Amino acid sequence: MKRRSLGRSALSVSEICLGTMTFGSMANERESLAILDHAYAAGVNFLDVAEVYPVPPEAKWAGRSEEIVGKWLADKPRAAVFLATKVAGPGGGWFQAPVREGNTGLDRHSIERACEASLRRLGTDYVDLYQTHWPDRVVPVDEQMEALDRLVEAGKVRYLGCSNETAYGLARSLWVSDIRGFARHQTIQNNWSLLNRRFEDELAEVCREEKVSLIPYSPLGAGVLSGKYQNGAWPVGARFSLYREYNPRGKAMSERFVNPRSLETTGRLLDLAREAGISPVTLAIGWTLTKSFVGSTIIGATRVDQLRDSLAAAEVKLSGDVLRACETITREILYPLG
């Protein structure tokens, strides 16, 4: 599998990153370990976890994904695997979980405690990429970046990144790092796919100009682009089927992703993939890898067999006609005034 650099860092990671959000909940430990083995054998050397995982969030599960990854990592050469994890910060509503007492934001104390706890669960003395999971607009950016910089200086973290951030937030943090001499964010992990192209409005320009790599999550629109929700289907055990039953916030999130416009777009993309002779999963993930600002695209799985079409995206070559069709379909339906 091909490698890509992340930002201005020395990290050279597989262009497919394995996300672990379901490890310990939708995927039990045995299946999670099998997924890790299969992805690693296929050349995936980049893993993404978080202190709040798995999702759906429950206090009894928080940190379980890191524990499973730590167990798997125990007999692997540490330098051969690139680990990314996240400090939760103030939370993002649906994903907020009581990971640690007094988890109120990205203050110095919370960041240091979160990192130490993640290292214990992962069974390692450092992580390659440490990310803020959600923005904190209360704690001064200077304090946040100084606390993160101290982790780099201590050797507990190699590089920094952010997640679910805005163009303003990313640019401001880079400015603070530049003027204060702190380690800077090398990556940003945001939701981006053929169903959600808002990243391209402003953030893509910041990434290109400042040499920050996007690590997109949900390249399948949280599974919608696979076609599983077409024709009114709500498959048993599927993410949004579970979310709809979980609480009002989960229902709202499911409707945000599964709606008439997203389903119409998906239907046309399914036809396009069929004409191109590839899986719609391969098409959706392969499309993300054609963008210069992408460092590595996060895929997820709850079963080993789900990895096949996702991993195939690293090898597929999408034609110009297919790429132009993707552009037309998403712009016509999702962004008619763009």
Model confidence over 262-291: pLDDT tens digits?
999 999 999 999 999 999 999 999 999 999
Q: What are the structural domains, with CATH classification, of the chain?
A: 3-225+282-317 (3.20.20.100)
How far lies 34's CA from each of 81, 188, 248, 314, in Å? 16, 28, 33, 20
* CA angle, 287 then 291 then 297, to 5°: 65
6 vs 296: CA distance, rounded Å: 8
- Side-chain half-sphere of 262: how many Cα atoms within 13 Å? 23
- Pick out the chain residues at pLDDT < 70: 56-60, 91-104, 237, 241, 246-251, 335-338
- Confidence at residue 76, expressed as pLDDT on a 0 to 100 scale: 97
List the one residue out of 162, 47, 71, 50 whose CA is nearest residue 117. Answer: 50
Residue 53 appears among annotated catalytic residues? yes
- Confidence at residue 129, expressed as pLDDT on a 0 to 100 scale: 98
- Confidence at residue 333, expressed as pLDDT on a 0 to 100 scale: 77
Amino acid at the residue 68: I
Among candidate residues 53, 159, 217, 229, the one labeled active-site is: 53
Torsion of CA 41, 45, 51, 53, to 10 degrees: -40
Rounded to two decimals, the pTM is 0.93
Integer Rg of the chain from CA: 19
